[in-house]
Amino acid sequence: MADSKREIERKYEAATGTRLPDLRKVAGVSVVVHRGVSELDAVYHDTHDFRLAADSLTLRRRTGGSDAGWHLKFPVAPGVRDEIQAPPADALPGSLAALLRSRVRDADIVPVVRLRTSRDIHHLLDDEGGLLAELSVDKVRAERLVQSGGPTVAWTEIEVELADDGDPALLDAVEKRLRKAGVRPSASTSKLARALAETAPDTAPTSRRAQAAPVTAGDHVLAYVRRQAEAIVALDPEVRRDLPDSVHRMRVATRRLRSAFKTYRALLDRAVTDPIGDELKWLATELGAGRDHEVLDKRLRARLGAVPQTLLLGPATARLHIWSTAHGIESRERVLAVLDGERYLALLESLDTLLTNPPLRKAAGQAPAKALPRAVLKDYERLAARVAHAFEQPPGHDRDVATHEARKAAKRARYAAEAAGPALGKPAKKFAKRMKAVQSVLGDHQDSVVARDTLRTLAVKAHTAGETAFTWGLLYGEEEAAAAGRERELPQVWARASRPRLRAALKG
């Protein structure tokens, strides 16, 4: 079983003879305790083409020290990484291999660098003896493992790691003291990055995110497509770790991709994008099982939690918990099975191929100000027709269906404007904001429709079990009222979103 922790640290350059300042003068630090020297030996692994390093991930097998074993680190923010640890083993543990699957796929993971570190450790303690941070002076020797007797390099650095639940302001105060002593922040984000850069500069990996600035309309669409494809890959391990909102964000990325293929079909060859779009639809549907359950569970729990005790009749809370647990486990198992499947990997490969050999049509070479507004406004017209159709329907099933279709059109119009945002600037961002407002109203209406279906199912099960269905009926009525409220709200929201000047601004 792998363990996870959040690592917040900063690295600094150090030269032979660099002396640490008196860190007891840092606010909050009462005592600095020398904990001795540890000898660490770590072998870093990656693919032959450094796919992990290109995304700032590090995978190592460490011996020595208190945390011997396999370590996998994901970047979260500058100086912040999530570290997943697994016990010592000869081969990469399956729990870590799964987290790398979206990036590594079928490629071999091999040793690339060996780092031997002599770590001189100091603990910064508060006046009660509590650990605030660990400062280490690391003497590092790196060896490139491309061949026997590969190139080596050595350096010394200072590393300051915040204790669990520590205040990041402490790192600022420590850095201020170090800078006064002439110590400067490291230019490398990690020991591995420095080792790769200095042992073989010509083959050091570069970030996958380094792309030329977009010029044509096609460039801007491809930049958007690339961002969404990278988001799917990056979110894969977050979904596997069951991090909050990860399934939702991954599903949104798949929908944005599919929407871009449809919106900008004048720029991208449909013979290539349509089959990929079908696979994206499949993935979004599979992810939807988990996400829809999350949304519905949160909504029903909030409704039930607001019911006065005098109206909370029967074992309603227990029944909702049983329903939620059963559906939650089933949904998660389904999502993980999809991520472990070959069909999903084939989709990722097809996206890579598309970005490597973009299927651009002649119109893709047009100026962004010409081609992008045309596509966005076409999606707007589609939305306007669906909203008008929804307004025409009588309350009930037909209106529910029509508003759901309008919701999907609003989402597509919003995504179209977001994709055009970097090229068209403020007008596109404002247009997207208005489309999001429409989508929000229609989305809440649809959530109420789904909630009512589930409440009816729960009521039937309660009645069959001999329980009172009163509370479920009460919640059903509240959802009906909520949906009616959204229907009354829609005309005003649509009036703001459909103002002609919003569309005129897109055309400049």
Residues 6+ positions from 28 with CB-CB distance below 8 Å: 126, 132, 167, 170, 173
Instruction: Return the closest-CA partner of residue 256 out of 296, 226, 286.
Output: 226
Considering the domain architecture, whether residues 350 and 397 belong to the same structural domain is answered as yes
**Low-confidence winner among 16-30, 114-128, 251-265, 491-505 (lowest mean pLDDT):** 16-30
Domain membership flag for residue 328? yes
Question: Beta 58-63 vs 31-46: how paired, if at all?
Answer: antiparallel
Residue 313 domain flag = yes
186, 258: one domain: no
Q: What is the mean pLDDT of residues 104-117?
A: 94
Do 49 and 134 belong to one domain?
yes
Give the CATH number of the domain where residue 341 resides.
Answer: 1.40.20.10
417 shares a domain with 342: yes
How is residue 95 annotated by DSSP? H
Question: Are 439 and 355 found together in one domain?
Answer: yes
**The pLDDT of residue 149 is above 50:** yes
Mean pLDDT of the chain: 92
Given a cut of 80, whether residue 335 has pLDDT beyond it is: yes
Domain annotation covers residue 175: yes
- Are residues 174 and 298 both part of a single domain? no
* CA–CA gap between residue 63 and residue 120 (Å, rounded): 16
Mean pLDDT of 143-158: 82
Q: Quick one: tokens of 447?
A: 């959530």
**Domain harbouring 19, CATH code:** 2.40.320.10
- Whether the pLDDT of residue 328 is over 90: the answer is no
273-308 tens-digit pLDDT: 999 999 999 999 999 877 777 788 889 999 999 999
Amino acid occupying residue 190: S
| Domain end point (choices 149, 176, 203) | 203
Angle at the Cα of 368 from the Cα atoms of 362 and 371, rounded to 5 degrees? 55
Q: What percent of the chain has pLDDT over 70?
A: 96
pLDDT (tens digit per residue) in 336-384? 999 999 999 999 999 999 999 999 999 999 999 999 999 999 999 999 9
- d(CA 162, CA 165) in angstroms, rounded, equals 8
Residues 199 and 221 in one domain: no
* Mean pLDDT for the stretch of residues 41-51: 94
| Residues 447 and 298 grouped into a single domain | yes
Domain boundary among 148, 174, 203: 203
- The count of domains in the chain is 2
What pLDDT does 65 receive?
A: 74
Residue 1 has pLDDT above 60, yes or no: no
| Residue 208 located in a structural domain | no
| Domain annotation covers residue 212 | no
Pair 178, 69 in one domain: yes
Domain shared by 260 and 133, yes or no: no
What's 304-370 look like in SS3?
Answer: HHCCCHHHCCCCHHHHHHHHHHHHHHHHHHHHHHHHCCHHHHHHHHHHHHHHHCCCECHHHHCCHHH
Both 290 and 352 in a single domain? yes
Q: Domain for residue 211, yes or no?
A: no
Quick check: is 373 in a domain? yes
Domain that holds residue 278: 217-506
Specify whether 445 is located in the same domain as 327: yes
Contact 383, 410 (CB under 8 A): yes
Whether 157 contacts 186, CB under 8 Å: yes
Task: Select from 178, 203, 228 the last residue of a domain.
Answer: 203
Does 269 have pLDDT greater than 60?
A: yes
**pLDDT over 60 at 147, yes or no:** no
Q: Assess whether pLDDT exceeds 90 at residue 386.
A: yes
Task: Say if pTM beats, i.e. exceeds, 0.85.
Answer: yes
Cα 355 from Cα 272, distance rounded (Å): 11
- Burial code (b: 16+ CB inside 10 Å, e: under 16) for 364-376 equals bebebeebbbebb
The answer to the question of residue 463 being in a domain is yes
